[in-house]
Amino acid sequence: MNILDSIVNAGDGATVRQLASQFGLNEAQASSALSALVPALSAGLQQNAQSADGLSGLLNALSGGNHQRYIDNPGALGDAATVTDGNGILGHIFGSKDVSRQVAARAGANAGLGADVMKRMLPLVATLVMGAMSKQNAARSGSSMASAGGGGGLLDMLGGVLDKNRDGSMVDDIAGMLGRTLGRR
């Protein structure tokens, strides 16, 4: 199961309902927001995982960050500490608030929602992405997270979300997402 599906299906849709309630959206709008934000976050994670330091940092965060709680208990998304945790995750993924704002604006345009809502939602979705990846990592217990092959590793988790055109390669999709996010084509 890819990251987006893990989030949307968690608790029979409890996460989607929580986000909808918290941001004054209906469930379709919350799902649309997730569909716009998760691929952008996954692209950032994928880019970070390309370096040894980035991959090491991600694996350490997944193994020690207790991120599963956000998937297991969507009510935690309403806690101020969750926003703080999410902003820390965004700092690691995107490196700057400006990039996070650009991601939120682009995702808002794609989802038909305001950039302000998406900007407030982005840290929470970052915690959910890490939670879904952490939960999948724990379920694999023993397989290598860094495996890029058929073993269901980190790249496989990200790949299902990132290969938007389902052509078997996520490279073109990541390049397009990052180019649009950073204002380049």
DSSP 5-67: HHHHHGGGGHHHHHHHHHHT--HHHHHHHHHHHHHHHHHHHHHHTTSHHHHHHHHHHHHHS-T
Using an 8 Å Cβ cutoff, are 82 and 95 in contact? no
pLDDT value of residue 134: 84
As to burial, measured by CB atoms within 10 angstroms (0-12 exposed, 13-18 middle, 19+ buried), residue 109 is middle
pLDDT less than 70: residues of the chain: 1, 61-63, 65, 140-185
pLDDT value of residue 162: 46
74-93 pLDDT, tens per residue?
999 999 999 999 998 898 88
- Stated length of the chain: 185
pLDDT value of residue 29: 96
pLDDT value of residue 154: 52
pLDDT value of residue 86: 92
pLDDT value of residue 135: 83
